[in-house]
Amino acid sequence: MTDIRLDNGPLEGRHYETGTLRNAWALRGARAPHTGRPYSEALLLGVSGGITFGYFTFAYTGELPHLALLTRNTFDPLDTILERLAPTREVRQTANAATAERQLNAALEAGDAPVVWADVYSLPYYGLEPSNRMWMMRPVVVVGRADGGYLLADGARQPWWVAAADLGKARGRVKKDRFRLMTLEPPNPERLAAGVTAGLQQSLRLFTEKPPKGARDNFGFAAYDQWASMLVKTKHKQSWARLFPRGPALFQALGGSLLHPGLLGWVMTWTSGEDADRRLFADFLDEAAQILNRPGLRAAGRRFVAAADAWHALALAALPEGVLLLRETRELQLRRHALFVAGGQDAADERATIRERLETIRMLVADEFPMSEVEATALLAELSHRVMEISAIEREAIQMLKSEG
């Protein structure tokens, strides 16, 4: 093995944007001035624009409808962090695969922890089927080289090994990001306070003002109201009764599928924690209180801890304990995610077995949904109540943040 640099602490970054930057800076030995420790993912989440809420449903011909929930700022958060913390950085891009590999090797030999963009459908450790119609380019950190391949820091506690040819294929998947490579110096500490302030302000705007794009009912507190309403209304064309009737559609909306996370996944596996990133945001507010000398931010943070608990409970309630197939789905989805976070190719077989069982459950549910119409209606009413509970907690928390501003 060569060019491996893991002596600056474990790979704690989880999200493909905030976590990737956290890992890249930690691997370079960067330390935050207010803690003397690596820049935390919580801090980077806040600087990126923090949390928000977005509610969307999609229905395409020939496919099951699906649910999308946004729990954090998704408007270019990685570029936002880089702009606000102003690290010296260099970006190289080429159309030639051989040149791209030479550039990557040179960056590793120079002691960098380079960030590259790669298609998750082409990376074997995700366990997705390669598709000509689907792609998703994400930034990952290249930790080093080993045995004819590369080690990638990507959402897990230990690096993933990927053959050089597979990484090259994944990097070349989409023209915009094809063979893009970025090297980073540590953040500019003089920009930290301003970056934290800007992130706080952006998160407040995303909750309370007109969204940068999309309909108003899709974002912030209006989105909570919309979601809660659609869960219990039966005649509206966007209601769950019409979009997600009892059967495969409702099962996908609640428990997810390989390509669509569902309520459980959006809250517990597509985030940095198991609570829609609310606890991580509370940790950011603790750091912001220290950086900005605004101790009142900690009180708002405590309300977001309460919101985190409520989000966690909502996700679990979506797949009730007393409905055996739904409970098993919940347990398998969470186990599969835990195996991914633990990392390492050793868990690949168990993750594949879990995937097969989930597909079997999907077929069983399609034949006979394990809840009656009355039971399913009662479940949606409970979820609607929980959504409004979350909204009430977060309204209070956001008001506390506004009063601090």
Sole residue written with tokens 């950190």: 141
- What's the pLDDT score for residue 1? 42
Using alpha carbons, select from 269, 277, 279, 270 the residue that is nearest to residue 335.
269
Determine the Cα–Cα distance for residues 34 and 244; give it in Å rounded to an integer. Answer: 48
- What's the pLDDT score for residue 3? 52
- Measured at the CA of 34, the angle between CA 291 and CA 25, to 5 degrees, comes to 110
Q: What percent of the chain has pLDDT over 70?
A: 98
- Residue 386 neighbours by CB under 8 Å, 6+ apart: 310, 313, 314, 317
Residues 127-165: tens digit of each pLDDT: 887 777 889 999 999 999 998 999 999 999 999 999 999
Determine the Cα–Cα distance for residues 5 and 382; give it in Å rounded to an integer. Answer: 49
For the full predicted model, state whether its pTM sits above 0.75: yes
Q: Calculate the CA dihedral of residues 232, 234, 240, 243 and round it to 10 degrees.
A: -170
Q: Is 111 left (phi over 0), alpha (psi -120 to 50) or beta?
A: left
DSSP 130: P
Q: Which helix (H) or strand (E) holds 72?
A: strand 66-72
- What's the pLDDT score for residue 289? 97
**Is the C-alpha dihedral spanning 16, 21, 23, 24 positive or negative?**
positive
- Beta strand 51-58 with 115-119 is unpaired
Q: Which two tokens stand for residue 105?
A: 């090797």
Length of the chain measured in residues:
405
For 152, half-sphere exposure in the C-beta direction (CA atoms, 13 angstrom radius) is 30
Using alpha carbons, select from 10, 40, 338 the residue that is nearest to residue 143.
10
Q: Which two tokens stand for residue 363?
A: 């077929």
Domain spanning 18-30+89-184: CATH 3.90.79.10: no
Find out whether 22 and 77 touch, Cβ atoms under 8 Å: no
- What's the pLDDT score for residue 212? 80
Determine the Cα–Cα distance for residues 319 and 153; give it in Å rounded to an integer. Answer: 32
- What's the pLDDT score for residue 187? 98
- What's the pLDDT score for residue 7? 58
369 φ/ψ angles, rounded to the nearest 5 degrees: -70, 135
Residues 7-17: tens digit of each pLDDT: 556 799 999 99
Three-state DSSP class for residue 73: coil
Low-confidence ranges of the chain (pLDDT < 50): 1-2
- What's the pLDDT score for residue 99? 98
For 6, half-sphere exposure in the C-beta direction (CA atoms, 13 angstrom radius) is 18
Three-state DSSP class for residue 47: helix
Domain ranges of the chain: 18-30+89-184, 50-66+190-404
